């Protein structure tokens, strides 16, 4: 990994990380430990500044004949271009912003459903967040289509790839798969699944919400038809992003009002958008590119076809991906010191590249909410329950037992924080 990667320098750029716990308990005076990142990350200082700057200097609706509207439109355009760089899409017109991934997915699933009928099939997986399941269940129900469920291995916590392959056939119209699981942390072999979908003429829809904060995404290399992410999971504000191949976005009939634009991306960006959030997303992407510029020099050879911001985003996200392995190992090391804790995810240290540092566990009969609450009192913020990965907790037989506790680290977390988590767990 990059020798120069400087976590304390990075932390200083995230104002929320400087907060001390002050809730009237034993943790008061200690820094808050944010390990709730799969539920949403803290934002970079430049994101706060961009949003404030937008609201003070550029705040206007779209398409006006005056200065603030024109400045606002320029920022929106630049944000589309930045997301196109981050995902390596071929055009900013392939980037659609919206309130969040769930709303964007429900919207595009309606448009896709118009092309589906009885006898057609949609493949979903039990490893996915429900936002990449229910929209397809509803679309299938509306159109009389059939849903096929791919399973995951409950010992290995990886997708049953052979089973998934067997579900894809000439009736398949959509294959919906997650890039990384928000519950198990597993990173899926999305490129292979996209390839299988295309072999039968189906569309491949990728939920990259959990992968986006951790590693480089290349929609052209994946060749996926549609891909979704959420800026609030990659250090930006609460906003969703949808990538779609231009021809597909152009062909589909969007659910929109008159006289909204007829062409992508405008035809999918219904109503007045979250402009300040879009400005913040632009800043978040630029921040990730700065990481590449600063720490990614040794990685440039890996991306000979890239230059400028696209290259910096690739090298920056590669640096973060490598630091992920340190974080994953540290979390697993700590959890293994706690007798009775069972990790539901990949633990093999030689396979850390197959996961992100999102680690869920159960601990005997202890209720996950009690563990999360006890950690919360100690200033350590973790999630509990199913985190909307309902199919996962159901499949593991944990839904009726409060689900799991989830530790989710990102690049601004330190091994020291994870050690504090371990000490807190051992003291419970």
Which residues of this protein are in contact with ligand PLP, per CB under 6 A?
38, 100-102, 129, 131-132, 178, 182, 207, 209-210, 230, 240, 388
Residue 5 CB, shortest distance to ligand PLP, in Å, is 25
Residue 390 Cβ vs ligand PLP, minimum distance, rounded to whole Å: 12
For 348, the token pair is 């093999």
For residue 90, what are its two tokens?
Answer: 């071929």
Between residues 96 and 131, which has the closer beta carbon with respect to ligand PLP?
Answer: 131
33 strand-pairing partners? 380
| Least distance in angstroms from the C-beta of 118 to ligand PLP | 29
Of 182 and 186, which has the nearer Cβ to ligand PLP?
182
HEC readout, the chain: CCCCCCHHHHHCCCHHHHCECCCCCCCCCCECEECEHHHCCCCCHHHHHHHHHHHHHHCCCCCCCCHHHHHHHHHHHHHHHHHHHHHCCCCHHHEEEECCHHHHHHHHHHHHHCCCCCCCEEEEECCCCHHHCHHHHHHHHHHCCEEEEECECCCCCCECHHHHHHHCCCCEEEEEEECECCCCCEECCHHHHHHHHHHCCCEEEEECCCCCCCCCCCHHHHCCCEEEEEHHHCCCCCCEEEEECHHHHHHCCCCCCCCCCCCCCHHHCCCCCCHHHHHHHHHHHHHHHHHHHHHCHHHHHHCCCCCHHHHHHHHHHHHHHHHHHHHHHHHHHHHHCCCCEEECCCCCHHHHHHECCEEEEEECCCCHHHHHHHHHHCCEECEEECCCCHHHHHHCCCHHHCEEEEEECCCCCCHHHHHHHHHHHHHC
> Is the CB of 41 or the CB of 413 nearer to ligand PLP?
41
- Taking the complex as a whole, how short is the minimal distance between the CB of residue 265 and ligand PLP, in angstroms? 17
- Residue 379 CB, nearest distance to ligand PLP (Å)? 23
Compute the least distance from the CB of residue 66 to ligand PLP, in Å.
33
Looking at beta carbons only, is 178 or 280 nearer to ligand PLP?
178
User: What dihedral do alpha carbons 179, 184, 186, 192 form, nearest 10°?
Assistant: -50
Nearer to ligand PLP, 129 or 309 (CB): 129
- For residues 20 and 32, the answer to whether their CB atoms sit within 8 Å is yes
**Choice between 231 and 424, CB closer to ligand PLP:** 231
Q: Rounded to the nearest whole angstrom, what is the least distance from the CB of residue 383 to ligand PLP in the complex?
A: 9
CB of 133 to ligand PLP, least distance (A): 10
For residue 259, whether the previous peptide bond is cis, meaning omega lies within 30 degrees of 0, is yes
Residue 101 or 352 with smaller CB distance to ligand PLP: 101
Least gap, CB of 282 to ligand PLP (angstroms): 18
User: Nearest Cα to 40, choosing from 317, 387, 328?
Assistant: 387
Closest CB to ligand PLP among residues 130, 300: 130
| Cβ closest to ligand PLP, residue 160 vs residue 207 | 207
38/379 with CB nearer ligand PLP: 38
- Residue 280 CB, nearest approach to ligand PLP (Å): 14
What is the Cα 198 distance to its own chain's centre? 24
């Amino acid at each position: 990994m990059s020798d120069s990667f400087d976590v304390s320098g990075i932390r200083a750029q995230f104002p929320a990380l400087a907060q001390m716990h002050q809730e009237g308990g034993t943790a008061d005076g200690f820094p808050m430990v944010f390990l709730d990142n799969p539920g949403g990350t803290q934002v970079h200082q430049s994101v706060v500044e961009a949003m404030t700057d937008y609201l003070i200097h550029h705040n206007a609706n779209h398409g006006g004949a005056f200065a603030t509207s024109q400045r606002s439109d320029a920022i929106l355009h630049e944000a589309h271009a930045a997301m196109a760089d981050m995902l390596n899409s071929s055009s900013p017109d392939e980037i659609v912003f919206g309130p969040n991934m769930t709303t964007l997915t429900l919207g595009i699933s309606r448009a896709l459903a118009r092309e589906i009928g009885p006898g057609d099939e949609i493949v979903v997986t039990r490893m996915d967040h429900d936002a990449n399941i229910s929209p397809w269940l509803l679309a299938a129900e509306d159109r009389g289509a059939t849903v096929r469920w791919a399973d995951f291995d409950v010992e290995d916590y990886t997708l049953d790839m052979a089973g998934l392959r067997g579900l894809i056939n000439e009736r398949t119209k959509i294959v919906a798969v997650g890039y990384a699981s928000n519950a198990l942390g597993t990173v899926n072999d999305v490129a292979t699944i996209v390839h299988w979908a295309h072999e039968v003429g189906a569309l491949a829809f990728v939920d990259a919400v959990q992968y986006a904060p951790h590693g480089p995404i290349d929609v052209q290399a994946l060749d996926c038809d549609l891909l979704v992410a959420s800026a609030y999971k990659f250090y930006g504000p609460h906003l969703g992003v949808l990538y779609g191949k231009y021809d597909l976005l152009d062909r589909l009939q969007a659910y929109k009002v008159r006289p909204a634009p007829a062409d992508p991306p405008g035809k999918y960006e219904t109503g007045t958008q979250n402009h300040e959030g879009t400005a913040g997303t632009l800043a978040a992407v630029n921040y990730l590119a700065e990481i590449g510029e600063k720490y990614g020099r040794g990685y440039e050879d890996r991306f000979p076809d890239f230059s400028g911001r696209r290259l910096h985003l690739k090298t920056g996200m590669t640096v973060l991906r490598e630091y992920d392995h340190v974080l994953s190992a540290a979390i697993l090391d700590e959890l293994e010191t706690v007798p009775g804790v069972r990790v539901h995810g990949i633990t093999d240290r030689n396979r850390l590249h197959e996961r992100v540092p999102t680690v869920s566990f159960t601990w005997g009969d202890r209720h996950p909410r009690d563990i999360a609450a006890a950690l919360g009192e100690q200033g350590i913020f973790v999630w509990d329950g199913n985190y909307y990965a309902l199919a996962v907790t159901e499949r593991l037989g944990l839904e009726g037992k409060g689900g799991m506790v989830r530790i989710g680290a990102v690049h601004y977390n330190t091994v020291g924080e994870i050690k504090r988590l371990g000490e807190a767990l051992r003291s419970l």
